[in-house]
A and B are shown apart, each in its own frame.
Chain A
Amino acid sequence: MEHHPEIDEYAGLSSPIHNWDPRAKLIAILCLIFSIVLIPDLRIAFIGLVIALTLVFVSRIPFGFMLKHLKWVIMFILPLFVIVSLTPSGGIERASLISVKALSAVILIFPMIGTMRFDTTMKALEKLKIPKKLVQMIMFTYRYIFVFTNELHRMLTSLTSRGFSRRISIYAMSTTGKLLGMLFVRSHERAERVFNAMVSRGYEGNIHTLVDFKMRKADILKAAILIAIAVALNVVCLTVI
């Protein structure tokens, strides 16, 4: 079996963030993310980054695991940094501000959803009254993304074993295009079969699961602390500037 890069790989650890009620955790960390995104000052944004890293440290998720995933985010932030710092309305400081905030927000994803199993996250979203269609879409994306990547790898293996190499040429590009087309067709066919399987077991548009969440005082206290920090970050900005 292939090893997949799963976000909930460290859901089994135990830490103050792991044993936090999923609903309280989602709301509190989301507040913090919004607050960090709104910060207009680079120095305060750095404090936000430190808070994000502290939460990862408290959650005991290995930094190496986080960096491995951040690689892709950094590949996205870096060009943005270069472009913004070169524009007249931007400049290095503005570019750094955007980059630090983006990085902090993404880092906070790890303590937020990396500290519980993915199905728990889904149940928490459901309990928080997130639109059901959206929850189902996220759930199915996560369930089938590995099935589709496996399918893509099988097709690529079959091409490679018949002498195909990924070069930059019209031929290679048209083959890759056809490959992607096939993947879409297969996904569509699978979606129909999955839908049949769901309907066969009484699906009528809503997915229900059994959930037993319990909100304790400690959960509320943790959420209150984090939300207070989130508010403070922006209040400080008002006084500094």
Chain B
Amino acid sequence: MRERVISITNVSYTYHDGTPAIKGISLDIFSGESVGVIGPNGAGKTTLLLHLNGILSSENGSVKIRGRETRKENIKGIRRDVGLVFQDPDDQLFMPTVFDDVAFGPINMGYADEEVRKRVAQALEWVGMKGYEGRSPHHLSVGEKKRIAIATILSMSPEILVIDEPTANLDPRAKWELIELLKGLPMTKVVASHDLEMVAALCERTIILDEGKVVADDTTASIMSNTALLERHGLAPAPRIIEAQSRGSNQVPSPNG
């Protein structure tokens, strides 16, 4: 039996204005797994991810990372173990240069200067961005920024990599290069997205989140072949559109008609 690295029990979160974001989510993630979390816009994917390193916390439920609850006394260790890559690299890359940004985590973790330099070099090498150390984030393309955003987390050598919408805003070439990069990373991965192509290529297990609840949790192959399920949760075109396309018709009936 593989080690259970993330254990989420009955986690709910409600925004300040009273809108519930996630409702009573429970799930376990095991060591070495690649898990895709898919769902339509506003399903609560990002909110769920923010619980994994204790940025958000649930009043009733609990999130345990390798047995430790995401409470104040454990938070430092948890944030070292769980690396969170945010969707917009302009949020992730806040330092004036690539080097300083990739070094930010390791320095905060208290490594000696030599070790920090070694980790930065390794992380940049890993994402194929060696030689970019002195560049400023506002001089980089979106694809480059995404890679460096991942490097800022890899330099902390997390056991669990949590990534929000890694392929958003990428052109197909950059997207597939990024997927190859992620495939090569050995740690446990949790990837939130509504890019089914990417999830199919990267993850062996997929969870569907809709309206703040887990509505399916199975192997990626069985979820991707269940068109009715995907369609029900806004992850595939509605049947009337598929039907119209198969008839070769330009006229798609309106939802009410």
Contact = CB atoms under 8 A, between A and B. Distances in A.
B is bound to A = yes
Contacts of B44: none
Contacts of A208: 107-108
B190 interface: no
Contacts, number: 85
Contacts of A209: 95, 100, 103, 107
A184 B15 CA distance: 20
B141 interface: yes
B139 interface: yes
B91 A202 contact: no
A198 B104 CA distance: 9
Contacts of B94: 140, 143, 194, 197-198
Contacts of B91: 190, 193-194, 196-197
Nearest to A202: B108
A201 B88 contact: no
Given A190-B91, A193-B86, A1 B139 contact: yes
Interface string A193-214: 1101111111110011110000
Interface in A155-206: 190, 193-194, 196-204
Interface string B72-107: 000010011001101010111011110010011101
B96 A197 contact: no
B95 to A, nearest CB: 7
Contacts of A147: 90, 138
Contacts of B84: 197, 200
A191 to B, nearest CB: 9
B52 to A, nearest CB: 10
A204 B108 contact: yes
A205 to B, nearest CB: 11
B198 interface: no
Chain B contact residues: over half helix, strand or loop, or mixed?
helix
B86 to A, nearest CB: 5
A42 interface: no
A4 B108 contact: no
Contacts of A139: 95-96
Nearest to A200: B84
Interface in A191-241: 193-194, 196-204, 207-210
A122 interface: yes
B193 interface: no
Interface size class of A (residues with CB under 8 A): 20 to 34
A146 interface: yes
Q: In this complex, which of A190, A194, A201, A207 has the most chain B Cβ atoms within 10 angstroms of its Cβ?
A: A201
B79 A200 contact: yes
A4 B100 CA distance: 21
A201 B108 contact: yes
A76 interface: no
A4 B107 contact: no
B86 A197 contact: yes
A4 B138 contact: yes
A196 B86 contact: yes
B53 interface: yes
A15 to B, nearest CB: 19
Contacts of A207: 95, 104
A193 B90 CA distance: 10
A119 B138 contact: no
Contact of B152 (A117, A142, A144, A201): A201
28 contacts: A1-B141, A119-B95, A119-B97, A139-B96, A140-B94, A142-B96, A143-B95, A143-B138, A147-B138, A190-B91, A193-B91, A194-B91, A196-B50, A197-B84, A197-B86, A198-B104, A199-B79, A200-B55, A200-B79, A200-B84, A201-B105, A201-B152, A202-B108, A202-B156, A203-B104, A208-B107, A210-B103, A210-B116
Task: Enumerate the 9 nearest inter-chain pairs by beta-carbon distance, A residue then B residue, closest first.
Answer: A202-B108, A119-B96, A201-B105, A193-B91, A200-B84, A208-B107, A146-B138, A119-B97, A197-B92
Given A119-B97, A146-B138, A193-B86, 20 more contacts: A1-B139, A117-B134, A118-B96, A118-B136, A143-B94, A143-B137, A143-B138, A144-B90, A197-B84, A197-B92, A197-B94, A201-B152, A202-B108, A207-B104, A208-B108, A209-B95, A209-B103, A209-B107, A210-B103, A210-B116
